[in-house]
Chains A and B, each alone.
Chain A
């Protein structure tokens, strides 16, 4: 191992070299003196002949080294020493970088978990979901059994086809009754996804045909929580919605993006006699070699054949095919990409800030650099060293940023909306670390290059003569610093405008009236097992008794049940026909939210009665069929008439036997499809005339609802006193429901505001630092001006003017940039245009004010310059 020997003998080698060179010079001097020169002359001549001793020694030593690595290590060593010697500078730079890198790492770990990591299925890019699409109304909705069977029979391009629907399940039989979300799936559901169970088996082909026994596959969660991860669970029975079912398998954790789905049962499809109900989502895997386009055209052909055979139900119907990944994360992608863009801006601003700090320091270090150059350091070597120092800074910033990010990710997971898909896959992993490393390196090079290139331009002789006390800083350098500040202001303005738009949009969203009084109302979901409550009269009687019991609970003012709840718990929509207006055309059919409700549902929610009456106990199953409509529906169909007494019925021409309903009341509008949804038509029917086993109970209290949990358990006991096998789920106050419905917009708005504020702080610090530095450099000039009679206010304006000029250029650029970029926000905004004029005026104005304050502080300092001191200093 020759090189090891070299490494250890190097010290001796270097010593020999110095001795040898010294000997060489001595011999020369001796010879010259012998030839008659004076000793001093001889020494000079010998050195001239020999050349630069230090450089020769360095070059000679270099022969023995691995130059690049060792230079680098030396630069690192030297760089660390320099950073330690300037703790203020180092801290400022490292904190700015850590903020930037930390924010980037945190957001990237979300993007990585949600968008980038492949879905936990075999070859997920070949999976698609299929739904129905009405080409005329542009509505997308689920398939019915017949659609699925027709598609499966005619398929050529898919290797596997399955379908699934969501369902609520009451688990009874063993342990406490529990209500969970689950899926009803066809036999090939799991094999299409290509995921094996961790225990037992999944469904076999054919187990969705009539006559198949009820079977269930459990989620990992349910297996852990309800069965304590016992291996003996396979083959055990459980009662699902009153049906004895056998457990056949357990899926791995993180099997589906939604942790809400707790179990899957086999869907038994009987040969359909009509088209409907629509509740299935198709799921399929492309054959090897088949493309999405081929699949789309085949599905179009199939839809066309179905349309020809069923012109009434399927006119204008086509299939809509979406890649599975798009279906799962497509909704959150824009928001996440916007956030990723925002943190990239923050990092750019932080880098510009650090570049500015480095430039300021570079002018202080000019003499040091000049001396090193004079001693023979090549320019490339000096640039290399400056770059090493900045990359070192970035590395320290990156490490600290990683700490910030760890904390940030934890916070994101706690604050993040629970309905964010794939939330549980967010973590700081190898890929995130690699990302952090890369952006740290990139930012180090980015902000390191600016001062390094500047150093290349500096004039060695001038620097040595002026000795680092240069009165006028190099024009080039101050231009670069100004450009950096302008860029910082422009970038932060873009973020601030984006943040302003999001904030305004969020405030608008929150100001939307849900149409109900959200105070002092408690809600919960009750689902009656279909087996025990298969008869409508049983269901009606259960809820009647329950309401009687709840209404007499202490503190309860009113209590009602309904199948849907605002702001986004809509269960049923249906077409309806208005008497006398139906014949015009098939497209006159209106689509309404259908809500079956008890008399006090409206009072408990606080929905105002506009005309007519609420439902009463007299609206029984056997009395005249009645309905209540909302204002939107009433205005649309009877704009200038009294709606009371008019008649309408659900369904279109294919359901001519539905009874006419007489409108007895008009109530205020309620949002059932989310606060941001367009106004919708709502049709209410009394629940005894349309029994429904799953209902939301709303309880309004007379005084302030300060202990919702206590009331909740009181109501729960009332339910269990009627039937101990009926679960109560989703207990929330109305305020909580409203707040949960805007979780995602709130999440992205809060994050964007945070990033915009960080950007604002960094840019403010940036402009302050540049001006403060400029003032300290111009002390001499300011002193002369004051000696020549300039007033304090003149000096003040000189400095403030310089800063505000930069600010205004930055604002102009930023407004232009924001104008071009905010369009990417358009899908995230509610009630605000991406070019909202008010935001585009107010936000730049605010930024200018903050910048003015940042300029004023150094300007004040400039006015305190004592001309005598400043001039004497020269």
Chain B
């Protein structure tokens, strides 16, 4: 109930996508939301707001850093940056996710015993 995205995705999915996006380049919240929406072709029904609790969790676990700065559109924004721990966490999560996905795919594959 508290983490509304959990209803649509599995726990940690949003964090994983955020980390992956931040790995490419540091971004502020709005840009991060737009990027995830765009790259997922709007397939994932994510409320933009749900990004913020996820970002707070990552901040608390010290996987990302945040600093106030000026965006390309000349706004005062908080820019999130991946740090070393975050990169490592991402790697770990992605491999875990791939294993899980593979398992699910095998079970779902037609003709599988």
Contact = CB atoms under 8 A, between A and B. Distances in A.
A50 interface: yes
Nearest to B68: A16
Interface stretch (B17-25, B47-55, B84-92): B47-55
B47 A63 contact: no
Given A51-B4, A51-B49, A53-B49, A63 B76 contact: no
Given A59-B3, A378-B1, A20 B29 contact: yes
Interface in A35-63: 49-53, 55-57, 59-63
Nearest to B60: A63
B74 to A, nearest CB: 11
A751 to B, nearest CB: 50
B77 A20 contact: yes
A57 B47 CA distance: 13
Contacts of B30: 23-24, 27-28
A51 B47 contact: yes
Contacts, number: 73
Interface size class of B (residues with CB under 8 A): 20 to 34
Contact of B53 (A26, A53, A60): A60
Contact of A60 (B1, B52, B73, B75): B52
Contact of A56 (B49, B60, B76, B78): B49
Contacts of B52: 17, 20-21, 56-57, 59-60
A23 B76 contact: yes
B105 interface: no
A56 B77 contact: no
B38 interface: no
A64 interface: yes
Contact of A27 (B4, B47, B53, B75): B75
Contacts of B28: 23
Chain B, interface SS category: helix
B48 A49 contact: yes
Given A17-B52, A63-B60, A23 B2 contact: no
Contacts of B50: 51, 56
Interface string B41-75: 00000011110110111011000000010000101
A71 to B, nearest CB: 11
Residue of A19, A57, A59 ringed by the most chain B CB atoms within 10 A: A59
Contacts of B1: 378, 380
B33 interface: yes
Residue of B3, B53, B60 ringed by the most chain A CB atoms within 10 A: B53
Nearest to A49: B48
A51 B48 contact: yes
Contacts of A380: 1
B47 A49 contact: yes
B57 A50 contact: no
Contacts of B53: 56, 59-60, 62-63
A50 B47 contact: yes
Nearest to A53: B49
B76 A50 contact: no
Contacts of A16: 68, 78
B48 A50 contact: yes
Contacts of B3: 59
Given A27-B75, A56-B47, 4 more contacts: A19-B78, A30-B73, A49-B48, A51-B50
Report the 8 A-B pairs with minimum CB-CB distance, sorted nearest first. A51-B47, A56-B49, A51-B49, A63-B56, A59-B53, A50-B49, A60-B56, A60-B53
23 contacts: A6-B60, A17-B52, A17-B56, A21-B49, A23-B75, A23-B77, A24-B48, A27-B30, A27-B75, A49-B47, A49-B48, A50-B47, A51-B48, A51-B50, A56-B49, A56-B53, A57-B52, A61-B56, A62-B2, A63-B53, A63-B56, A63-B59, A380-B1
